Amino acid sequence: MTNAVQRVAVYGGGVAAAMAALAVSRAFARLGTDVVWIDTGKEPAPHAALVAPPDLATFHRLLGIDEAALIAGSAATINMGQQFARWSGGDGAFLHAYGDAGSAFASLPFVQHWTRARQAGLGVALEDFCLAAAAAKQGRTGSLRESATQQAVKQGWYLDAAGYARLLRAACERADIRIVSGAGAVVHPNGGRLDRIDLSGGEQLDADLFIDADGALIAALDPDGAAARPGFCDRLIRGSAPAFDPLPLYGRVVAHSAGWLAMVPLADRTAIEFAYDSRLLSDADASGALAATIGRAVDAGSPVALEAAARPRPWVGNVVALGPAAGDAPPLDGGELLLLQLAIAQLVLLWPIDRATMPEANIYNEEIAGTWARVTDFTAQHFRLNARIGEPFWDAARAAPVSPELASKIDLFAARGMFAHFNHEAHVEDSWALVMAGHGVIPRSFDPQALLVEDRALMAEFQRQLRAVASDVHAMETHAEALRRMRG
């Protein structure tokens, strides 16, 4: 391959740069590709934590990162889902667990039968038929060899961001990736491509492909390529509170009058993110509001601006921007790591054949734009569906425009409990169902094929499923047992 990409430079710091360098090196070093990481030294923000969706577990296998190392190095705990509290006004809460929303039967998704039963007066919530949700709430996790429900239970992680970045960096070092300091580096663009980066020590680094996890490289090539995306909150306070005991298997996202608060359970602390709209809550009042919402003292930093920029064309010339350089991920539902991982996987898949032309950029930009749109929709649904009626922040959030795709998803679920799926979906249907039902959307009608099941048979099946959920939960292990097992 005379025109193959031989030299790759990754520019940036923190999780995104390390993960990209590691993934690219593991895939292509075998072909003689040389990977240099120009470390800008930018570290995760103090107190920051990451919500890793279940997909990351698979990705970790490709990266060669094992569970024991994660637990030891990043205060990791098991993530079975997120609980949303007070999004509908009262104290109510629901759990978006990573699992099946009930078990399909009579060849139809469970939601169809559930809708029918709700119309006939059933009071049981959809999540009560979800093994992952029931287990998480009762502090149980793990997979079963023999399961009565036969339901999927998927697990992600909660990670301390700084610890995770250190862990990835160590893995880069073990993979013999050369890491150089990017302090004082000067970027040299030339005719739509990047020529080289001059390091302060005098070394001139040229590469066939630059991966930008910082934003400086892509900004040099495409200064007008970033656009502001509308966001609901403009301020964020990060902090830490004492760890929960026992450790919960899910995080919590609590709505408050001027924004939301996320609690991420880690092994040694509970990471807090308090987001708000500074027009409704002054910075001076914010820490008081935070303490009041959480009900105890929090070791918190000062407010920082919460940005929401988007970069529709992350690959320009020979620079691929990913992680924060590609735009600010939606702030909930583990969007940050999900998008990072999908971007890296897509880059490996579309690894350029010809370093001089790289027409892969167009394919990549199309794929990533689609993925961003769908991931963004998933988080946008919470704001669209909130039922905190009469509160200015939440009324505006409900009225804010959403993509046509999300609008049709919500319309169709509300009408029929079905899913309008599009290309690039990153969340499974059952996740959408648990969230929409959790926010109080009960479909107005159901698939008439459900009527072929007789009322009595339906009730018997519901009871069977609830019993199966209970017995499966009973057979699962506790969070502490699971962590101990994985620690080895």
Partner 1 sequence: MGDKFELVIVGGGTAGWMCAAACAAKLDPTRFRVRLVESEEIGTVGVGEATLPQMKDFNDFLGLDEIEFMQATQASFKLGIEFINWGSEGDRYVHPFGTFGRPIGEADFFSYWIRAHRAGTAAPLSDYCFPIVTALQNRFMLPSGDTNDVRNAFAYAYHLDAFLYARYLRSWAEARGIERVEGRIVAVEQDGERGDIAAVKLASGTRVAGDLFVDCSGFRSLLLGGTLGVDLEDWSHWLPCDSAQAVPSVRSEDFTPYTRSTRRKAGWQWRIPLQHRTGNGYVYSSADISDDEAAATLLANLDGEALADPRVLRFKAGKRKQAWAANCIGMGLAGGFLEPLESTSIYLVQMAIMHLLALMPSEPSIDPALPAELNRVMDVEYDRIRDFLILHYIANEADAPLWERVTAIDLPDTLAGKIERFRHRGHVQAYRDGLFGPPSWQAVFVGQGIEPRAADRLADVLPAATVNERLQNLAATIADAAASVPSHADFIARYCPAPAP
Report the nearest approach of partner 1 to the CB of residue 130 (Å).
22
Give least dist CB 211 to partner 1, A.
Answer: 16
Alpha helices in 197-275 (DSSP H): 216-221
Distance of closest approach, residue 353 Cβ to partner 1, in angstroms: 4
Burial of 318 per CB tally in 10 Å (0-12, 13-18, 19+): buried
- Cβ atoms within 10 Å of 67's Cβ, excluding its own: 18
Q: Where are the alpha helices (DSSP H) in 121-160?
A: 131-137
Longest dimension (CA), the chain: 79
CA angle 304, 308, 309 (to 5 degrees): 120
- To partner 1, the closest distance from the beta carbon of 4 in angstroms equals 7
Which residue, 53 or 352, has its beta carbon nearer to partner 1? 352
Q: Which is nearer to partner 1, 80 or 316 (CB)?
A: 316
Q: How far is the CB of 217 from partner 1 (least distance, A)?
A: 22
Structure tokens, 10: 């990754």
Nearer to partner 1, 27 or 236 (CB): 27
Tokens of 252: 């919590």
Q: Where are the alpha helices (DSSP H) in 350-359?
A: none
Q: Which is nearer to partner 1, 8 or 300 (CB)?
A: 8
Strands 315-316 and 259-265: unpaired
Nearest residue to 374 via CA among 420, 413, 415: 420
Q: State in angstroms the smallest separation of the CB of 408 from partner 1.
A: 6
Residue 188 or 424 with smaller CB distance to partner 1: 424
Nearer to partner 1, 71 or 320 (CB): 320
Question: Rounded to the nearest whole angstrom, what is the least distance from the CB of residue 31 to partner 1 in the complex?
Answer: 6
Shorter beta-carbon distance to partner 1: residue 257 or 408: 408
Q: Which two tokens stand for residue 434?
A: 């648990």
Q: Which residues bind partner 1 (CB under 8 A)?
A: 1, 4, 27-28, 30-31, 348-351, 353-354, 359-360, 362-363, 408, 411-412, 414-416, 418, 420-425, 444-445, 447-449, 451-452
**Paired strand residues for 274:** 237, 261
Element (H or E) spanning 432, and its range?
A: helix 429-438
